Amino acid sequence: MSGAEWGLAASVFLACSVEAVEALTIVMALGTTRSWSSALSGVGAAAVALAAIVAALGPALSALPIGVLRVVVGGLLLIFGLQWLRKAILRAAGLKALKSEQEEFEEQRRAAEVAVRGGAGLDGYSFVLSFKGVLLEGLEVVFIVLTFGANQHRVGLAAIAAGVAVLLVILLGVAARAPLARVPENSMKFAVGVMLTSFGMFWGGEGAGASWPGSDAALLVIVPAVLALSVATVAALRRGARPAQATASLPEATASPLAEQAAREVAVDRNLLTVEQSAVDRA
């Protein structure tokens, strides 16, 4: 496979692994607390709905001209990628709570315990929440597979990478019989944010008529550049957070912590937009 295809497979695998871990946590909390049969029925119904969505959207995306497809895909990947990267940067800088599957599992379990139980038969609560959780996480998986795969005309490769990721997460969950709390989910989301943003800039630029130096080899520059700026942004936010916390602890401090966090989040957004603009300018 080419370097771009390896990048496609790795990006899809990481992104789909994260979504699968989150869906697994919801299903396990409902299954262990209320009803495995109802929770798994919700999973099955969501899988059928996702299959129908893929059958409807797949041919439609493939029918688009390649230029239009790359602009659309590039724009969508930038939207999703910048959202993932922004949250990952804030978490790495200590300005947003780290994602914990164990905490999410306990929260879902407590909610399931206090929810009203029906009579014998299908447990509506478990079915609906499992269906909703798997459908929402699955929609992101479908989006990633279709956008990456259709743009490179390698939907099969993207689907295989996604299938391997989901199957691996399920096997690990069955073996552990617990949420996959040890999976480095926050680091994986950081990596996925970098990859989605980089591919979004690359394909969006190509669709708009830009000619990247070295063609696909330009990704070997874009990805490290986005990663380097993201890491630099985390370091800058950490340095800025320490004086702000020290000032806020003084009696005479009047600055609002919420205002300070909002200002830092604006700085993150500006830095990410700077990367996108500079990459387009170089093209």
From CA 38, how far away is CA 222, in angstroms rounded? 46
Chain position carrying tokens 């790795």: 10
- Dmax (CA) for the chain in angstroms is 65
Amino acid, single-letter form, for residue 55: A
Mean pLDDT, rounded, of the chain: 81
Q: How many helices (H) and strands (E) does the chain have?
A: 9, 0
Let me know if 186 is exposed, middle or buried by CB neighbors in 10 A (0-12, 13-18, 19+): middle
Let me know if 210 is exposed, middle or buried by CB neighbors in 10 A (0-12, 13-18, 19+): middle
Over residues 18-66, the pLDDT tens digits come to 889 989 999 999 988 888 999 999 999 999 999 888 888 777 777 778 7
Looking at residue 231, its pLDDT comes to: 94
The more confidently predicted of residues 149 and 13 is: 13
Looking at residue 254, its pLDDT comes to: 45
Q: Is 1 helix (H, G, I), strand (E, B) or coil?
A: coil
Instruction: Please tell me the pTM assigned to this model.
Output: 0.72
User: Do 154 and 80 contact (CB within 8 A), yes or no?
Assistant: no
224 pLDDT above the threshold of 90: yes
Over residues 96-152, the pLDDT tens digits come to 888 777 888 888 888 888 887 766 778 888 999 999 999 999 998 888 888 888 777
Domain ranges of the chain: 3-282
Secondary structure letter of residue 169 according to DSSP = H
Helix axes 124-152, 101-114, angle to 10 degrees: 140
